[in-house]
Structure 1
């Protein structure tokens, strides 16, 4: 049974405008009925749930799109397909978690240090590693 855009919005908790946006980005797909109205297969609800979960953990739409490309477009992913896709995100998410933990631990010291210096900042330039290759404004223009 196909769903209207309003039904998909209601069941997924996503605004109609977001569904249009997801469709423009090829994250979800629909077809047109004889009355030229959008219709979605029920499996779109699973794809939207994946998109929402991925956004909640901070993945970009491009990262989500790349992952969804490995899943079938018009049917719900199997458990194995979902696990394979989520494993691909694991290392990236673990790295982000470690970065956030480091920020959490150092943020108080940074705010309290008063140096106001990007050149010597323990968050932006730990152990002054940038001094080996860069100085001054290169820190602002060259994020590597």
Structure 2
């Protein structure tokens, strides 16, 4: 059976993304297309799973550069298998765990902080939790 390719419009319809976003992902190296005999951009069906992973990763705050790096290890012209996805999951596990802890703290302490009114960068448990860099002086230390 011949490989069925999807047009950019079909991929947009299936993923719920605008065509411009798919073109952007392609420019960033997240997905790849090829040209058919009419010189139209077409995608292999596997792109649907890649786009789904990109959307989910972006929704939890994973930067596009990290997504691109993770996807670069996947097979280019076949459906990634369970082991491929497990490798990506392992790479993102610690960062996602850190983000979850930070978001949980923000959720649980936000009302208290807004209500306290101190706006103190020195004392705020959200902005300045466990400030190990304060001893190095004022201002941004990691930028």
| TM-score, scaled relative to structure 1 | 0.87
SS at match of 2:44: coil
Which is richer in helix?
A: 1
| Equivalent of residue 31 in structure 2, options 28, 32, 38 | 28
Q: What corresponds to 2:127 in structure 1?
A: 124
Give the aligned length: 140
Q: State how far apart, in whole Å, the 1-side matches of 2:30 and 2:67 are.
A: 8
Query: Are 2:81 and 1:78 equivalent residues in the alignment?
Result: yes
Give 1:108's aligned residue: 111
> Unpaired runs of 5+ in structure 1?
none
SS in structure 1 of the partner of residue 55 of structure 2:
helix
- Give unpaired runs (5+ residues) of structure 2: none
Distance 1:127 1:58 in 2: 23
Instruction: Kindly report the root-mean-square deviation, in angstroms, between the aligned alpha carbons of the 2 structures.
Output: 1.8
Structure 2 CA distance for partners of 1:142 and 1:128, relative to 1, 3 Å? closer
SS at match of 2:125: coil
- Map 1:34-45 onto structure 2 (within 5 A): 34-45=37-48
- What does the per-residue CA deviation read over 1:36-69, in whole Å, with 9 as the maximum and x for residues that have no partner? 1101111111111111111122211111101001
The question of 1:7 aligning with 2:6 is answered no
Using the TM superposition, give the Cα deviation of residue 131 of structure 1 relative to its aligned residue in structure 2, in angstroms: 4.1
